[in-house]
Structure 1
C-alpha cells in the first residue's frame, strides 16, 4: 500500500507580539515549516520526533534558500517566545 501525502496549504496566523496583532505566514517546505513575516523568513520549525524543534539560524541557512535581505536584522525584529511557538504548533497540528 502506498501512502498518499498531501502538503499542507500555507496559512496566515495572527499572534500578539509586543501588544500588537502580528500576521505570520506558515508554509510547509522540505520537512519543516517556515515562519515568515512581511516576506522574510524569521524561523522554521521541524516536526516532532519527541518535541517540535525551532531550527537555529545556522541550520536554517543550510536548509532554506535565503536572500541577503532575509538575514537583515533591521528588516524584521520578531522574537518568537514559547507561547507563540506553541500557538503556531497547535495551529499546524490542527490542519
Structure 2
C-alpha cells in the first residue's frame, strides 16, 4: 500500500515544496501591505499620487536643515520670497 518507485514520486515533492514557498511568500506580502496600510498616519498622503507640492519656503528650509546651503544662502532667497508674497497680497 502507498508504494512509490525507488526514486520517489517524481516531481511531486518539488512542485509541492514550490507551492508552499509561493503560498508563504504571498501570505507574508499581504500581511506587510496590510500592516503598512493600517499604520499610515492620518496626515500622511499615499506614496504614489501625491499631488500637493511643497512651498518654496519649505524646500529652502529643508535644504538649510540638510546642510546643503549655509545661513547666508538661506536668508537671501527667503527674504526675496517673503517680499514677493507681501506684494501679491498672500
TM-score, shorter chain, exceeding 0.5: no
Q: In terms of Rg, which structure is larger?
A: 2
TM-score, scaled to structure 1? 0.20
1 or 2, which has the higher helix percentage? Answer: 2
